[in-house]
Structure 1
Amino acid sequence: MQVPSERKKAFIEWFLTTHPPEQREVVWLLQYILKREQLLNGIHFIYEAHLTPRSIIVSTEEEESRPFRFYKEHIVTTDVDKAFHDIRLNQDQELFIEFIYEDVRQSAEYADVLEENPYLPDDYYLEKKDYNAIEKFLEETSRENEKKSLQKRINEALDQGDEEAFLKWSKLLNNLDKEHSE
């Protein structure tokens, strides 16, 4: 979903008013962006901006040691001037911006302009326990499917009066049940 530039502009103005960055260069950069419609059209507000090819992260959190970061490909700088020159010279390139401030995840203002990060891997937020739960679920589902298949074959063997097939499928089902109970 493309966010209209008027909403992006309103958000940046709101941010500058309610969470002004300490570095005046960051304020100037954001004011520069505000005045450029072409730039506003190519800007996307997201989470995890560091995963994108070209991005800015602006933080007003007190414990943040780097309140401004500019990422381009695999290069990171905290120099606002370098970011400004790149943005000024490449106004037609997409720019992803992430703002970090107190309670940003609960911010209705940020949610209003937030877009999905197209560079975020599907499993980015998964932890080891999540992978273990997924693996356990897949194993149980596979075992249940195998059990149903064996029960179907047993029933077919009974319907056809095939004692040999019945014994074969029953033995496999019993072995599956024993494995599961161990």
Structure 2
Amino acid sequence: MEQLISIEEKRSFLKWFLRRYQLKSRECIWLLNYVLSDEHLISLLKFVDNTSGCPRAMIISEKNASHTAFVYRKHDVETNEPEKAFHDIRMDQDEIIYVHLVFPSSSLSSEYVSILEENPHDRHFINARYGDEVSRLIEQAESQFMVAFLESEIDKALVTHDKKRFVELAAQLKQIREGR
């Protein structure tokens, strides 16, 4: 199953991440800003929960994380130097880059969970850790949509003086707001 995360969603997330967290390496900030400056490079990014098996991957850690500050892997070659990754990204703008960000409570971050994609190279790409959070986000979005829809329909019923429809819709809206 191919997931489609838009370039704008990825850009927005990266900007949020850079504003919110300090990274262990300032070169990582430069690298992410370089990627942010080019739509094509952003389109190559796939944010994943783990990079196991990925042919080209990057792991970037927040300042307080216990993980290594930076790891870049392309096939069998691995480096901890963002400068080498920058050079490779500049030279190879065709191959997907799988990115794993290490920061506190990442599994609870709706911003992060919303841009995560499955790692097609990992045999176990269903991660139960995010399942409940994703379900909660979907339920919340459905509820918000239903409330907006019902409010719009209630407005229409008021304009057309359709009392019966108004009462039905108001009851449905009340049920949703009460959490049924």
TM-score for the superposition, normalised by structure 2:
0.65
Q: Distance in 2 between matches of 1:65 and 1:100?
A: 7
Counterpart residue identity of residue 74, structure 1: D
Tell me the residue number matched to 1:81: 83
SS of residue paired to 1:49: coil
Q: Distance in 2 between matches of 1:47 and 1:38?
A: 22
Go from structure 1 to structure 2 and tell me whether the alpha carbon gap of 1:90 and 1:68 turns closer, same or farther (over 3 Å shift): same
Q: Distance in 2 between matches of 1:123 and 1:22?
A: 28
Tell me the residue number matched to 1:58: 60
Question: In the TM superposition, what is the alpha-carbon distance from 1:123 to its structure 2 partner?
Answer: 8.4
Matching of residue 101 in structure 1 with residue 118 in structure 2? no
- Structure 1 unpaired stretches of 5+: 126-182
Higher radius of gyration, 1 or 2: 1
Counterpart residue identity of residue 19, structure 2: T
Counterpart residue identity of residue 20, structure 1: Q
Tell me the residue number matched to 2:70: 68
Question: In the TM superposition, what is the alpha-carbon distance from 1:22 to its structure 2 partner?
Answer: 2.9
Q: Which runs of at least 4 in structure 1 moved beyond 6 Å after TM superposition? A: none
Counterpart residue identity of residue 74, structure 2: K
Q: Distance in 2 between matches of 1:105 and 1:83?
A: 26
- Kindly, what percent of the aligned residue pairs are identical? 32
Q: Which has the higher helix share?
A: 1
Question: In the TM superposition, what is the alpha-carbon distance from 1:124 to its structure 2 partner?
Answer: 9.0
Count of paired positions:
126
- Structure 2 unpaired stretches of 5+: 128-180
Counterpart residue identity of residue 35, structure 2: I
* Equivalence map 1:1-182=2 (5 Å): 1-60=3-62, 62-64=64-66, 66-122=68-124
Tell me the residue number matched to 2:160: none
Go from structure 1 to structure 2 and tell me whether the alpha carbon gap of 1:21 and 1:3 turns closer, same or farther (over 3 Å shift): same
Q: Distance in 2 between matches of 1:117 and 1:17?
A: 26
* Aligned CA-pair RMSD: 2.0
Q: Distance in 1 between matches of 2:102 and 2:68?
A: 11
Q: Distance in 2 between matches of 1:20 and 1:10?
A: 17
